[in-house]
């Protein structure tokens, strides 16, 4: 009897959902009657088109766009969405309708991660966002501050990473060390950001030269990995509000556990910097950390720069800066390993420009044109956030001749746009030369690169990310010869995480110190 009652309850609940879906669908049809809606594949009750979003989601959406067109309408559970997969439509969204698409959709799972949706990437468009954006661009990511970060902490961490890899290679027979690059790259970027943001360095114990990730980086990466896997375009918790009542999948429990660890990590950094400021009051501390700048602003604008706001800005810097930058560098190294002729060409440019008597620095990067082309081409093929951060229409508008109603989620498939055969010759090929000489790299009207977004919600950390990628990759290329493990080609399979585009498996490679750089490496 209990089993029968449970089955009846489940069937009744499903019948209720189907009926509700029908009512909502009829109401939407009446609202948009007579308007040119974007094409849409057949949907099924309740789920809508969620069943079509196989992982990786950006690839599924690219296939749907090939069948139904570059402006595609989807219903994801209770949400309406429009997917844009062409340069022309994306330009229209971020120019003619930039204000209309300047806000963000609210996701229950994302709100848990993003301090109730109040971080710079996730908050609604308005005065609060303008204040955060001003703090980021004027006080944290200004050209002066970024320049000092690159020439100071980023360059120092790149040197430290090169030193550790040199020592690891020297410790094995043959002088070629097998390294897992993602862990080392993540540690490098996080360590640089920790010093720039919080004025502290990642701790390493005695004899830890061969350790590829500090305890702080390991702790933070664990929380990032958990949150990234639970926040994304196919998290059913965000598309069926009723699921939140039961949390049968344990989504909220897992997210909150990771959030508590992250918040404790960030609060320790803020408290430590506050104590240092109080102890060093009146003395010249040199270049201030980002937290120190915000704590100073807190005194003049306490209602704006609360500890929670400072924590949210730090979280945005760490989350956006570490995972995406490390992932982009890992994809770039994967491409270089599979294209040794490109690697040799990049090495030759560095040798001719910088030489072998010193490590390259931030001031050298603007003169390394081919290295910049390598980074640009890697970001074209593997944008770290392939669907960008979702937008939402705040007003009715028209995209590609199709009506998009207010409240519609906008997904811009940068991955598909970057590989559009109309825009790019041989679009799936890794060919940095397509960007040499300042060329757009493709058909003038269609070549369109947006790995950092576009418009007023474009990532404010673009310049820092690009220069960091170029400096880190340049250091690894200058100091070491690289080869694949056992001579096998690197598998370029993509992972299926939430917002980002990770590799399916971490990249491992063999690094051998270059003979001409041994004297420099031995002095690091």
CA dist 433 and 424 (Å) reads: 13
DSSP secondary structure string, 297-357?
A: HHHH-TTTS-HHHHHHHHHHHHHHHHHHHHHHHHHHHHHHHH-HHHHHHHHHHHHHHT-SS
Q: Which pLDDT belongs to residue 20?
A: 47
Q: What is the mean pLDDT of residues 98-106?
A: 96
Query: pLDDT confidence of 349, banded at 50, 70, 90?
Result: very high
Compute the Cα dihedral for 9, 15, 19, 20 and give only its sign: positive
Q: What is the mean pLDDT of residues 255-262?
A: 92
Query: pLDDT confidence of 279, banded at 50, 70, 90?
Result: confident
Distances from the Cα of 452 to the Cα of 64, 319, 449, 464, 467, angstroms: 23, 14, 9, 12, 14
* CA-wise closest residue to 495 among 484, 506, 485: 506
Report the C-alpha dihedral over residues 245, 254, 453, 438, rounded to 10 degrees.
-160
- What is the residue whose two structure tokens read 């980086």? 217
**Model pLDDT for residues 47-77, shown as the tens digit of each residue:** 999 999 888 999 999 999 999 999 999 999 9
Of 253-262, 449-458, 478-487, minimum mean pLDDT range: 253-262
pLDDT at 361 over 60: yes
For the chain, count helices (H), then strands (E): 19, 9
Give 38's DSSP letter.
P
Task: Give the residue with greater pLDDT, 204 vs 80.
Answer: 80
pLDDT at 19 over 80: no
Q: Which pLDDT belongs to residue 249?
A: 66
CA dist 137 and 145 (Å) reads: 10
Q: Which pLDDT belongs to residue 213?
A: 63
Whether the Cβ atoms of residue 424 and residue 418 lie closer than 8 Å to each other: yes
Residue 356: how many CA atoms within 13 Å on its side-chain side?
14
Distances from the Cα of 95 to the Cα of 98, 130, 404, 413, angstroms: 5, 19, 16, 17
Q: What residues contact 254, with CB distance under 8 A and at least 6 apart?
A: 226, 230
CA dist 509 and 339 (Å) reads: 14
Query: pLDDT confidence of 6, banded at 50, 70, 90?
Result: very low
Query: pLDDT confidence of 18, banded at 50, 70, 90?
Result: very low
Return the H-helix or E-strand segment holding 282: none
What domains sit in the chain, N to C, each tagged with a CATH number?
32-522 (1.10.630.10)
Task: Give the residue with greater pLDDT, 204 vs 380.
Answer: 380
pLDDT at 407 over 90: yes
**Model pLDDT for residues 176-223, shown as the tens digit of each residue:** 999 999 989 998 998 888 888 888 766 554 444 445 667 777 788 888
- What is the residue whose two structure tokens read 């998009």? 404
Return the H-helix or E-strand segment holding 138: none
Please compute Rg for the chain using Cα positions.
24
pLDDT at 7 over 60: no
CA dist 7 and 477 (Å) reads: 62
* CA-wise closest residue to 251 among 79, 106, 109: 109
Q: What residues contact 64, with CB distance under 8 A and at least 6 apart?
A: 41, 52, 72, 83
**Model pLDDT for residues 461-503, shown as the tens digit of each residue:** 999 999 999 999 999 999 999 999 999 999 999 987 668 899 9
Residue 27: how many CA atoms within 13 Å on its side-chain side?
6
Of 30-44, 84-98, 152-166, 292-306, minimum mean pLDDT range: 30-44
CA dist 282 and 276 (Å) reads: 12
Whether the Cβ atoms of residue 322 and residue 223 lie closer than 8 Å to each other: no
User: What percent of the chain stands above pLDDT 70?
Assistant: 87
- Rounded to 10 deg, the angle between the 251-279 and 181-198 helix axes is 50
Mean pLDDT, rounded, of the chain? 87
Q: Which pLDDT belongs to residue 211?
A: 55
Q: What is the mean pLDDT of residues 428-440?
A: 89
The annotation status of 123 as a binding-site residue, yes or no, is no
Q: What is the mean pLDDT of residues 137-142?
A: 87
Give SS3 for 84: strand
Each as own residue / partner, the long-range contacts of residues 66-70 (CB below 8 Å, 24 or more positions apart, any chain) are 67/41, 68/39, 68/40, 68/41, 69/38, 69/39, 69/400, 70/400
pLDDT at 522 over 80: yes
Q: What is the mean pLDDT of residues 164-185?
A: 93
Q: How far is CA 6 from the centre of its chain?
A: 44
Query: pLDDT confidence of 34, banded at 50, 70, 90?
Result: low
CA dist 300 and 75 (Å) reads: 46
* CA-wise closest residue to 229 among 500, 493, 494: 500
CA dist 438 and 295 (Å) reads: 42
CA dist 473 and 185 (Å) reads: 10
Q: How far is CA 351 from the centre of its chain?
A: 31
């Amino acid at each position: 009897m209990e089993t029968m009652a449970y089955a009846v309850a489940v069937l009744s609940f499903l019948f209720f959902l189907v009926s509700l879906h029908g009512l909502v669908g009829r109401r939407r049809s009446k609202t948009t009657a007579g308007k040119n809606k974007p094409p849409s594949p057949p949907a099924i009750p309740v789920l809508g088109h969620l069943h079509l979003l196989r992982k990786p989601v950006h690839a599924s959406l690219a296939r749907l766009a090939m069948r139904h067109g570059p402006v595609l309408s989807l219903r994801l559970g209770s949400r309406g969405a429009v997917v844009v997969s062409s340069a022309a439509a994306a330009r229209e969204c971020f120019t003619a309708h930039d204000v209309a698409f300047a806000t963000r959709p609210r996701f229950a799972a994302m709100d848990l991660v993003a301090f109730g949706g109040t971080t710079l990437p996730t908050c609604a468009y308005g005065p609060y966002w303008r204040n955060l954006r001003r703090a980021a661009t004027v006080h944290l990511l200004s050209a002066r501050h970024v320049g000092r970060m690159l020439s100071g902490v980023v360059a120092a961490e790149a040197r430290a990473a090169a030193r550790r890899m040199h020592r690891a290679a020297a410790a094995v027979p043959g002088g070629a060390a097998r390294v897992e690059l993602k862990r080392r790259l993540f540690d490098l970027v996080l360590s640089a950001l920790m010093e720039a943001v919080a004025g502290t360095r990642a701790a390493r114990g005695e004899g830890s030269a061969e350790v590829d990730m500090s305890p702080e980086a390991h702790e933070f990466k664990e929380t990032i990995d958990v949150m990234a896997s639970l926040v994304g375009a196919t998290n059913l918790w965000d598309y069926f509000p009723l699921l939140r009542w039961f949390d049968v999948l344990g989504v909220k429990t897992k997210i909150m556990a990771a959030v508590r660890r992250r918040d404790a990590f960030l609060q320790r950094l803020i408290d430590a910097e506050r104590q240092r400021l109080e102890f060093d009051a009146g003395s010249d501390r040199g270049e201030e950390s980002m937290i120190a700048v915000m704590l100073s602003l807190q005194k003049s604008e306490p209602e704006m720069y609360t500890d929670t706001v400072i924590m949210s800005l730090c979280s945005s810097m760490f989350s956006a800066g570490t995972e995406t930058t490390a992932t982009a560098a890992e994809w770039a190294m994967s491409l270089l390993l599979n294209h040794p002729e490109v690697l040799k060409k990049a090495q030759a440019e560095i040798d001719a420009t910088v030489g072998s008597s010193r490590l390259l620095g931030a001031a050298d990067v603007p003169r390394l044109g081919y290295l910049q082309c390598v980074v640009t081409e890697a970001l074209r093929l593997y944008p770290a956030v392939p669907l960008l951060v979702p937008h939402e229409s705040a007003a009715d508008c028209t995209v590609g001749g199709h009506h998009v109603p207010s409240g519609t989620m906008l997904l811009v498939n940068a991955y598909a746009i970057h590989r559009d055969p109309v825009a790019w010759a041989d679009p799936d090929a890794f060919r940095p030369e397509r960007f040499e000489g300042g060329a757009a790299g493709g058909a003038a009207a269609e070549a369109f690169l947006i790995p950092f977004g576009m418009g007023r919600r474009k990532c404010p950390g673009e310049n820092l990310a690009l220069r960091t990628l170029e400096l880190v990759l340049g250091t690894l290329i200058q100091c070491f010869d690289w080869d694949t493990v056992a001579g096998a080609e690197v598998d370029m399979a993509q992972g299926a995480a939430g917002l980002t585009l990770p590799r399916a498996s971490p990249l491992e490679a063999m690094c051998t110190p270059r003979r001409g750089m041994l004297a420099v490496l031995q002095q690091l």
